[in-house]
Amino acid sequence: MGLACMKLVRRQRELRVDFFRGLALWWIFVDHISGNWLSYTTLHNFALCDATEVFVLLAGYSAGLAYGRSMLRNGWLFAAADAVRRAWTLYVAHIFLFVVFSAQVTWSAAALDRADYLDEINLDALGSNPYEALLRALALNFQPAFLDILPMYIVLLLIFALLLPLLRWPAVLGAVSFAIYAAARVFMLNLPTWHGDGWYFNPLTWQLLFMLGAILAIAPGEPPLPRRLLDAMSAAMLLVGLVVIYVVWERPGLTAALPIRLARTLFSIDKEGLHPYRLASILALAWLTTRLVPPNAAWLSRNFAWPFELCGQHSLPVFCSSIFLSFVGRLALELDDRWAMQIGVNVGGAAALVAVAALAAWYREKGRAAAARDRAEAAIPGLAASLAPASGPGNAPNDAVALSETARADTGLPQG
């Protein structure tokens, strides 16, 4: 199976992006399982950012590659239409995930007599006011726990579709995006939710990370500062993150001597609004990663890398499956959280996510093969019909040769 799945990994892509996006999806799965010991090894234990920042930055990078280059070739309207179509695909996937996940949690709560599941995941509104809850879910302002990433991604793509023309001038796009980010944080701007609070992941602030990813994809260029200086600054930022996590947050008594304003800042590093420290942390991590992992790194073609790359290339079905599987893993660990079950949940979950990615890749290749076959079958009858009127004397033989060569080129048949 390993060799078959390796063949499904598209090698012409940027494998670094696919690998780390797949790794982020794995971290999301692990972190969503309560009581999972493996969650102590994921990114949020070592930096002031986590898998969400990795996912959004790489989503922006991929969007810059796909829609930014399309805009430069075909114009803004063409590329924006593709971005909006992708947002619609994400919306449909979100609604499907909402229905499946809600059914899974509510059934489990009833079967196990665990009403606390509904309260913890914010699904109790389905019982008290089901009709409005469904309507609000369709409007994206009812977002239970674990179902708030895709709505943010949808809005980020729509914002990106509007700002696409500015990608021709990366500095302008960066300035506009930063202005939106700063205004949202200073004036506490956010999209509304059903019960009056803002979205957990504020799209008005997270769009900055998405846009920076797109800018890096379309206009990498030279860094604004010397590389060695950026290396030192990035390493220092990650070191600061470790101090905050394991000294400031774990032992607040040791930080009593800090200035009040600094202490208040360190204890208010929020994820919802993408705090500047979290933004600096993911950018530092991204810089050091690009320095340490070149695009042609040999290990990206090794056996251990392809499961992550395959998952990264099919992130939507893998992400949706991870939400469902993480709750199954939680139920299993609540039944028995010893080593055997811990290993079974994590290994079984990983195998299931890779299987989902492999199935998605197989369907993709199957669809491409069918489309190529249909084009070939359509071209050959067209060749016969075009040759029929030219069967008389004159240039008919030459015309037949020309048409035959054209048909071979269109259908992918060997020439020569």
Would residue 127 count as lying in a domain?
yes
192 beta partners: 198
What mean pLDDT, rounded, does the chain reach?
89
Looking at residues 161-173, what average pLDDT do you find?
96
Give me the mean pLDDT over the 58-72 stretch.
94
* Sign of the alpha-carbon torsion through 347, 353, 359, 364: negative
pLDDT band at 45 (very low <50, low <70, confident <90, very high): very high
- Residue 413 pLDDT exceeds 50: no
79: containing domain: 2-361
Q: Is residue 404 pLDDT above 60, yes or no? A: no
In a domain, 274, yes or no: yes
Count up the domains in the chain and report the number: 1
Q: Per-residue confidence at 223, pLDDT binned at 50, 70, 90?
A: confident
Supply the pLDDT for residue 254: 76
Domain for residue 211, yes or no? Answer: yes
pLDDT of residue 382: 56
Task: Tell me, yes or no, whether 396 lies in a domain.
Answer: no
Domain assignment of residue 405, yes or no: no
pLDDT of residue 401: 40
pLDDT reported for residue 109: 95
pLDDT at 10: 62
Average pLDDT over residues 349-353: 98
Name the H helices within 125-202.
125-128, 130-138, 149-163, 170-186
Answer yes or no: is 369 within a domain.
no
CA distances from 97 to 37, 91, 92, 174, 194 (A): 26, 10, 9, 33, 19
300: left (phi over 0), alpha (psi -120 to 50) or beta: alpha
Q: 118-132, pLDDT tens digit by residue?
A: 999 999 999 889 999
**Residue at 233 is within a domain:** yes
